[in-house]
Amino acid sequence: MNQVDPAGGLREDDYALLQSHPETAASAAAGLILRYFYPLPPDLLKDFGLHELLAGRWADALRPQLGESFKDRDTIWRAYGGQKMAGIGCLADGILSAFSDEKGPYDDSRIPDTNWIAYVGDGLSGDQKITDGNELMAAYQAAGRPLRYWHKPYQGQFSFETWAVIVQRRLRWGVGADKKWRREFLWVLAPVPSPERETWPAEVLEALAADTGALHDDTGTYRPSDVDPEVQDTSESDRVAYRRLAQNAEANANRRGQLKKPSLADRFVRAPSARAAVLRRCKDSCENPRCDGHPKERTTAGKPILQVDHVQDLAQGGPDVPWNMIALCPNCHALKTYGLNKEKLRRLLAATAKQLHAEALR
């Protein structure tokens, strides 16, 4: 550009090309706005002479559009460029994308009782660091910038599912591609309808305001040995381990209870120590005393088929502590959620959870 015109500007033929393709020009301008002029300063479109080109919602000009789907990552790359393989990276327009593949190595999922996403960070084996994709995520978190979230269901296609903003970063135990336990980042993504901040729901804005960018380290409140029998610490009894985990869960619940205005992340991101306590308590068996299913059934990998659930849901004000949680086989979990007599079963499970908790502490 300096060789053509030191004052800046496009070559004449490039300028003519953009004039003849207004949709392409609008997409390029919108991408530059989101990348370099975000949030959009007042009158910027007018000052740049882009008001007519991007009249209305400038974000509508961005490509790809929400809902676009592709067979695989290669077809996304052919259409929009950028990085081709990493789970976290930018398309050719420089805007960050986070890719989630249900057949991939990470367990990215919706946070229960919300549509928010628990997204595992970058790095296949060993403790994850703030490098590469995680460094980009941290920068977007600090700036409150929206990113693209792509999702590929099992045997499905990749689709640009939603724009999202990072409202919290946590550190948890997970299993890497080498099958070894490691510390990994969990990025809490809140879906938003568009990159325009004016369209974001109030609960997302509240979570962003509450987020200090600090790392919430959960790895000190529980251990891999608490949830994996293959690495279980035999020097510590189940009773001692349960007491330790329950105390950590209660402390976390008390901390949350002292927040003046807890965000959805504070209310619904569950404490791993509480879940670990219930798994130690249940002895690999469904805790419903009237279970008619298969209380000790296991997967082909030899793992118990159990779902740890809150008796009184978090959405209804239930606390995230072991005495309000119970391990259920899929059949009993379905009965608790959808059964004709679910309220009667909930009362039974509430009493059972409190009894089992008291016995485990005794």
Q: Give residue 332's pLDDT.
A: 94
Residue 261 has pLDDT above 90, yes or no: no
Residue 300 has pLDDT above 90, yes or no: no
Give per-residue pLDDT as tens, 12-63: 888 898 889 999 899 999 999 999 999 989 899 999 889 999 987 899 999 9
**CB of 57 closer than 8 Å to CB of 196:** yes
Q: Give residue 105's pLDDT.
A: 80
Burial class (CB in 10 A: 0-12, 13-18, 19+), 204: buried
User: Structure pTM?
Assistant: 0.90
Give per-residue pLDDT as tens, 180-226: 999 999 999 999 999 999 999 999 999 999 999 999 999 999 999 99
Rounded distance, CA 90 to CA 81, Å?
9
Residue 262 has pLDDT above 90, yes or no: no
Give per-residue pLDDT as tens, 112-153: 889 999 999 999 999 999 999 999 999 999 999 999 999 999
Which residue has better confidence, 188 or 108?
188
Instruction: Average the pLDDT over 241-252 and give the result.
Output: 96
User: Domains of the chain, with CATH numbers?
Assistant: 12-61 (no CATH), 64-219 (2.30.280.10), 220-362 (no CATH)
